[in-house]
Chains A and B, each alone.
Chain A
Amino acid sequence: MTKIHSVPSISTADQTLVLSSLEHDQLVGAKKHHIPRRHFKTPELIVLWALRLYLIFMMAVVGYQVWMAR
């Protein structure tokens, strides 16, 4: 069971309002917990690296174009 506390300046009425209006994982405190990591499959890694190399290469092309336009 999760214990709920509030910072001292928040009234009991506001605390009740928060608990009745927000979903539990909407609470700022609940978001401190990380979502578990997933690991990539090989095809996903290939796509990610291909797009990363594509981006680096294309940025160099844009840099070259700007250089030539000067």
Chain B
Amino acid sequence: MKPVVTEAEVVITHEDVDRAHDRVRVSAARARRGFSSKARLLWLLVGPGVLVMLGENDGPSMVSYAATGAKFGIGFFLPFVVLTFCMAVVVQEMTVRLGAATHRGHAELIFDRFGPFWGWFSMIDLGIGNFLTLITEFIAVRAGLGFFGVRPWIAILMALVILYGALMSHRYWTWERITLAAAIFNLIFIPVALMTHPSWHSVGHSFLTWQPLPGFNKDVLLIVLADIGATVTPWMLFFQQSATVDKGMTIKDIRFGRIDTVLGAALATAAAIATILATAPLFAHQMTADNFQAAEFAQALQPIIGRFGASLFALGMVEAGIVAAITISTSSAYAFGEVTHKPHSLNLPMGEGKSFYAVLTLCAAAAAAIVLIPGLPLVYVVLIVNVVAVLAMPPALVFLFMLVNDKEIMGDLVSPLWANALATAVVFILTSAGILFGVSIIAPNIFAALGGQ
């Protein structure tokens, strides 16, 4: 049963008009037959899934993948990264269904359905996670442009100009296309990987056998957690559902929403694997990469792939930081608007969406300003941000499963049994990884008894 509107009056706004114009194009493409119409429909409906997946290939995620390749080579981690993106697809598909069926954002649904007590818990998790992650995005931008000698404040200013520039159209569609165009540059890691001349035989062997295994110790556990956190995080749930709603997607569009999500995951997996392959030569040359951040990886790779390849790697880090800064600050603004019932859409003119744009710009500006404060030990934020994301994920996922299995709001679109089984497996894996990490820190004796080193 869909929510029933009981009040007698509904006012049509400019946001409705903009969304209606987008929907007219979708309806026109759907009405026509043939391959080109289907391709156009895909072009019109693709967006939230690709953005969320490439957005999550952010600064700390690319650093995690780079550290994975540099410290452990390929082996176990190539298929493992594919597995983590499969988990992301399972989870994110649910947000598409929720958004299309209810036309409500994730934060709004949690507040309405479960009440403010649990709603605020989930908002606190989201707010802390988003802000820490935003800081790391600007660190990535600063480090990436630092490779070219750009001063930190100029690098940060450039990132903010791009972020605010995308907002200037006050149209969801335009914002989405600009951000998609920027996000595609995430694939810049693929030519970098090719420049290292990877052994395709070893790559194939790694995918088929998951060998060599990296051992079982605290370092491996941390990188496993960081790689999981590089693909599934709470902000992704909130962003994709809100973007699906803002785009105006309906039940008819769910199939394309799924294609969008899988396409995004495939592109993001390609970029992630390319990053591991790109830094794997550092492992082969036995170079220590323990304290490497974005720019250090580019510098270390320069003797192997030359100045041009290293520059591409640094630019990839900049792109990763900027696109994630855009999507994460937008997810914060959506969530704030949904829980406070203030207007929240990228279709809003500035005058009607003051609080939405204010939250979005202030979040980004505050995170950017922190990065410019000299002497702050920001390296710790980069190290823990993906781990924090993994730890915060199980509570967020339980809310998601309860919503997506709620017949009163989802009707026939509740999750089938196999999807619930997969989703339960994801929660189990994330919680187990988190508990194992905790044991390795506070009870190393028990960790050793479990076979850890």
Contacts and interface: CB of A to CB of B under 8 A. Distances in A.
Interface of A: 1-7, 9-10, 14-15, 17-38, 40, 44, 47-48, 51-52, 54-55, 57-59, 61-62, 64-66, 69-70
Contacts of A40: 114
A18 B409 CA distance: 24
B415 to A, nearest CB: 16
Contacts, number: 160
Contacts of B380: 66, 69-70
A15 B384 CA distance: 50
Given A23-B250, A30-B10, A59 B17 contact: no
Query: Which one of B12, B248, B431 has the highest number of Cβ atoms from chain A below 10 Å of its Cβ?
Result: B12
A23 B103 contact: yes
A52 B441 CA distance: 20
A10 B189 CA distance: 47
A35 B101 CA distance: 13
A35 B5 contact: no
B201 interface: no
B20 interface: yes
Contact of B384 (A6, A14, A28, A62): A62
A64 B12 contact: no
Interface string B386-400: 011001101100100
Contacts of A55: 125, 391-392, 394-395
B103 A2 contact: no
A14 B20 contact: yes
B24 interface: yes
B408 interface: yes
B376 to A, nearest CB: 13
A67 to B, nearest CB: 10
Contacts of B6: 33
